[in-house]
Amino acid sequence: MSSDKAPMTMKDIARELGISVATVSRALKDSPRISEERRRVIQQYAREHNFYPNAIGEALRHSRVMPSKVIGVIVPEFTHYYFSSILTGIEEAAMSRGYYIMVALSNEMYEREARICEMFHRQKVCGVIVSQAKDTHNYDHFQKFIDSNIPIVFYDRICTGVNASRVVVDDYMGAYNAVTYLIETGCKRIAYYGGPVQLEISKNRYNGYKDALLKHGLQIDETIISVCDNRADAELITPKLMALETPPDGYFAVNDDTAIGILYTVKHAGLHVPEDVCICGFTNGQRAVACDPMLTTVEQRGKRVGEEAAEILIDKVEGHSPIEKVEKRIVRTRLVIRGTTR
């Protein structure tokens, strides 16, 4: 459905099927007062025309009905501490205002993400908070929420294909400050391990890395820039960089797991950290203090990101903020200096 087209209403369905709005409403709520066959026809027509009633809006218009207080949350993966900390923030903020969350895992797969969104529509969640999967290339499943007047808020990995509210950390400044610190403590050749290039956070962190180098008169060398966002790949890529005629003396990684993969590899090769090589990650999860030496990293404050996303969404659900108003909030990062840097 085009975002320029007004979303279908129950009144439209009633007019097209020659029935009353009350009949449509009861059928969509599976009321036994409507025959099973008629319910099936009305519900099928609604699905075919992408109509999903805003359960909260209906409840507020009919105060005798308890409103849906369930928020759909999509998490790309649970392996990263960052996403679990965001989830904690969302749940605590939601519970404090009387809402519950329904959590689903996309596993970084577009098709699964789209199916989850369809399920959320059927469950009539009052709103959705989501971080898109790495390989998401089509945004119709997100646009459908907007067309149906169901608020949606993105966190971490924002979707540039739809105009919706979002909460992100200051990825650019986080990367810029980290790389600046590496330079100011003696590193002159800093490798960059980043995420998939189509993601907005990857672009912002790369730009922070690049600008820090240029600001300090260092050249950008594509041979030490890699798409790498996990420990396994880091352990494969790092030996190749170490074998260069002029290997890196510093590494900046997109997350802590990747940084730990670098740390393991350089130590296994007999190098000393931070005397020979400095390493900086991005997350500040529990693993950052479980390695030796402990990891210097950029703290993302995931819990605060989750709290902000939930606050924006619930304000829209309850009518304190217009659904169509796009809010963009940035949570500041901070560099946590530990043993992997000088």
pLDDT averages per 10-residue partition of the chain, 342 residues: 57 89 84 87 82 53 55 88 92 95 94 95 93 91 93 91 94 98 98 92 96 97 96 98 98 97 98 98 94 97 96 94 93 97 97
Q: In what order do the strands lie in the sheet with 70-75?
A: 100-105, 70-75, 127-130, 152-155, 165-169, 328-331
Residue 134 confidence (pLDDT): 87
Residue 77 confidence (pLDDT): 87
Residue 184 confidence (pLDDT): 98
Interacting residues of 123 by C-beta distance below 8 A, sequence separation 6+: 70, 72, 102
Residue 54 confidence (pLDDT): 55
On the 0-12 / 13-18 / 19+ scale of CB atoms within 10 A, 11 is: exposed
Residue 242 confidence (pLDDT): 98
H helices of the chain, where? 10-17, 21-28, 36-48, 55-61, 81-96, 110-123, 140-147, 171-184, 200-215, 231-242, 256-268, 302-317
- In whole angstroms, give the CA distance from residue 213 to residue 54: 49
120 closest CA partner among 103, 133, 107? 103
Say if residues 303 and 277 touch (Cβ distance below 8 Å). no
For 211, the token pair is: 């600008």
Peptide bond into 274 cis (omega under 30): yes
- Give the residues across from 152 on adjacent strands: 128
- In whole angstroms, give the CA distance from residue 280 to residue 296: 5
Secondary structure of residue 154 in the 3-state scheme: strand
On the 0-12 / 13-18 / 19+ scale of CB atoms within 10 A, 221 is: middle
Alpha carbon 286 to its chain's center: 20
HEC string for 45-103: HHHHCCCCCCHHHHHHHCCCCCCCCEEEEEECCCCCHHHHHHHHHHHHHHHHCCCEEEE
Residue 65 confidence (pLDDT): 38
Task: Provide the whole-model pTM.
Answer: 0.76
Residue 26 confidence (pLDDT): 85
Tell me which H or E stretch contains 3.
Answer: none
